Amino acid sequence: MARLHEYEGKALFKIAKMPIPQGDVAKTPEEARAIAAKIGKPVVVKVQIWAGGRGKAGGVQFAASPEEAENVAASLLGRTIKGLLVEKVLVEEKLAIDREYYAGIIVDARAEARCPVVMFSTSGGMDIESVPADKIALMNVDVLRGFRIYDALNLANRLKVPSPHISQVARLMVGLYDTFKNYGARLIEINPLVVTADGKVLAGDCRISIDDSSVIRHPELGIEVARESGTPPTELDKLAWWVEEKDLRGTCYFAEMDNVLAGEVFGTIGFHGMGGGGAMLGVDGLNKQGLRVANFADTSGNPPASKVYRAAKLVFSQKGIDGFLLGGFMAANQEQWHHAHGVVKALREEIPKRPGFPVLLLLAGNKEKESLEILREGTKDLPARIRIYGGERVYDTVGLAAEMKEMVLEYKKEQKKTKEATHAGI
């Protein structure tokens, strides 16, 4: 999923003719001042970061004048809020809020549903998770039939939205559904959906996440990497997305990690997993042994060897890694020999550059026997510490991580010796 910023989402609302507060996005305090001056009313200054709960974290502040807006923007820009650097703020007219509602749509992917679910609540302004179920009106939408104005009116009516603004609320919900559908979103949310003191209804906030598969169809959204992440993509993340974008057979996820460990760190591992849950246990196992991971990579959905090869090359391109772990913990839907071929090719190119390098290869699943054979045959002449395992070790993340640590320690000792010998001119 790819998340948009509030100001980007509100621009889509505007296209759908949904009412939004007057305002614009600013990168500098001067721009914030100019926007506030143009609005000519008290404003709200909101940090644009990929996180909710900005209000409580001090990321939503008010300003009565353009000067104050400039000062508030100056204090927010460059600050870190909820662990994220603030690079932009949205400056909007301050609304006189009378009521805060909630409207949202998610995809319910469970077999018994498999459809968008429209959610509406009169208890807005707080996390929808903390709103009691009886305060939320839901409707599963048949995508062929669509979501119509009377569906929206029914939802609003169930929670007794007063008649003076029920039709505005309903129109906003229909606009929300159209935006959700037109951009292939997985999630869309207005919280709060604001009713002002003078009876206007507007989208006070916006959260949208676009489905990975829709990103390619919407270049106008300017999404660099179709992955939901709290932080902007790194250069390597962008390269990795290129692998995915050009070849939709199977998936290649890649994210550089800032994997900070509490205790002593013994080394850094380039991680190439598959089968999300097992792969995460693998990372956890490494971390518990004092090994950090440089990245999280995942190749699943039966990708061809070429894609696996590219993923492995991305992993190896990271500076400062002391080992490579292929964590094929569990993958029921793919023939593992494609992985074996792809990884062997990458290892044959990379290992000669780093003799003695620790490599742990675990491949479990369909065509396991053949895959292990390909790995053994393809790596037997490589000058590395290579261990190859199959399904028998799949639950042994602790043992595998311990083995990795042992290899990393030996490798590092060896490297230190080589370095000393070079210095001594031997």
Which positions lie near Mn ion, rule CB under 5 A? 191, 205
Q: How far is the CB of 30 from ligand GDP (least distance, A)?
A: 22
Q: Which is nearer to ligand GDP, 128 or 382 (CB)?
A: 128
**Interacting partner of 117 out of Mn ion, ligand GDP, none (Cβ under 5 to 8 A depending on kind):** none
- In the region spanning residues 87 to 116, those forming contacts with ligand GDP, defined by CB under 6 A, are 94-95, 97, 100
CB 151 within 8 A of CB 118: yes
Radius of gyration over every alpha carbon of the chain, rounded to an integer in angstroms: 26
Contact between 304 and ligand GDP by CB under 6 A: the answer reads no
Q: How far is the CB of 176 from ligand GDP (least distance, A)?
A: 15
Taking the CB of residue 303, how many other CB atoms lie within 10 A of it?
Answer: 25
Q: Which is nearer to ligand GDP, 70 or 100 (CB)?
A: 100
Q: How far is the CB of 122 from ligand GDP (least distance, A)?
A: 14
Q: Which is nearer to ligand GDP, 6 or 350 (CB)?
A: 6
Taking Cα atoms as reference points, which of 303, 371, 300 lies closest to residue 337? 371
User: Half-sphere exposure of residue 341, counting CA atoms within 13 Å on the CB side?
Assistant: 12
User: Half-sphere exposure of residue 129, counting CA atoms within 13 Å on the CB side?
Assistant: 2
Q: Which is nearer to ligand GDP, 175 or 204 (CB)?
A: 204
- Residues recorded for the chain: 426
Compute CA distances 247 → 213, 216, 243, 272, 312, whole Å.
12, 12, 6, 18, 16
**Interacting partner of 376 out of Mn ion, ligand GDP, none (Cβ under 5 to 8 A depending on kind):** none
Q: How far is the CB of 69 from Mn ion (least distance, A)?
A: 20
Q: Which is nearer to ligand GDP, 168 or 295 (CB)?
A: 168
* Binding track over 152-191 against ligand GDP, x by CB under 6 A: ---------------------------------------x
CB 363 within 8 A of CB 331: no
**Interacting partner of 378 out of Mn ion, ligand GDP, none (Cβ under 5 to 8 A depending on kind):** none
Q: Which is nearer to ligand GDP, 79 or 369 (CB)?
A: 79
Q: How far is the CB of 26 from ligand GDP (least distance, A)?
A: 16
**Interacting partner of 60 out of ligand GDP, Mn ion, none (Cβ under 5 to 8 A depending on kind):** ligand GDP
Taking Cα atoms as reference points, which of 326, 338, 269, 332 lies closest to residue 298? 326
Is the Cα dihedral 86, 88, 93, 98 positive or negative? negative
At position 282, the amino acid (one-letter code) is G
Q: Which is nearer to ligand GDP, 51 or 261 (CB)?
A: 51
- In the region spanning residues 29 to 58, those forming contacts with ligand GDP, defined by CB under 6 A, are 44, 46, 52-55
Q: Which is nearer to ligand GDP, 15 or 96 (CB)?
A: 96
Task: Give the SS3 label for residue 313.
Answer: helix
C-alpha to C-alpha distance for 71 and 376, rounded to whole angstroms? 64
Q: How far is the CB of 186 from ligand GDP (least distance, A)?
A: 18
Taking the CB of residue 132, how many other CB atoms lie within 10 A of it?
Answer: 8
Listed in order, strand segments (DSSP E) in 60-131 are 60-63, 80-81, 84-85, 89-93, 97-108, 115-121
Terminal-to-terminal C-alpha distance of the chain: 54
Contact between 23 and ligand GDP by CB under 6 A: the answer reads no
**Interacting partner of 95 out of Mn ion, ligand GDP, none (Cβ under 5 to 8 A depending on kind):** ligand GDP
C-alpha to C-alpha distance for 202 and 185, rounded to whole angstroms? 21
Q: Which is nearer to ligand GDP, 31 or 205 (CB)?
A: 205
Taking Cα atoms as reference points, which of 364, 250, 369 lies closest to residue 311? 250
Contact between 205 and ligand GDP by CB under 6 A: the answer reads yes
- In the region spanning residues 116 to 155, those forming contacts with ligand GDP, defined by CB under 6 A, are 125
**Interacting partner of 54 out of ligand GDP, Mn ion, none (Cβ under 5 to 8 A depending on kind):** ligand GDP
At position 280, the amino acid (one-letter code) is M
Name residue, tokens 């939901």. 228
| 264 DSSP 8-state letter | -
**Interacting partner of 10 out of Mn ion, ligand GDP, none (Cβ under 5 to 8 A depending on kind):** none
Name residue, tokens 């609320």. 169
How many residues in the shown chain lie near ligand GDP by CB under 6 A? 16
**Interacting partner of 304 out of ligand GDP, Mn ion, none (Cβ under 5 to 8 A depending on kind):** none
DSSP secondary structure, 381-416, as one string: TSSSEEEEE-GGGTT-HHHHHHHHHHHHHHHHHHHH
User: Which residue is at the shortest CB distance from Mn ion?
Assistant: 205
**Interacting partner of 256 out of ligand GDP, Mn ion, none (Cβ under 5 to 8 A depending on kind):** none
Rule CB under 6 A: which residues touch ligand GDP?
Answer: 44, 46, 52-55, 60, 94-95, 97, 100, 125, 191-192, 204-205
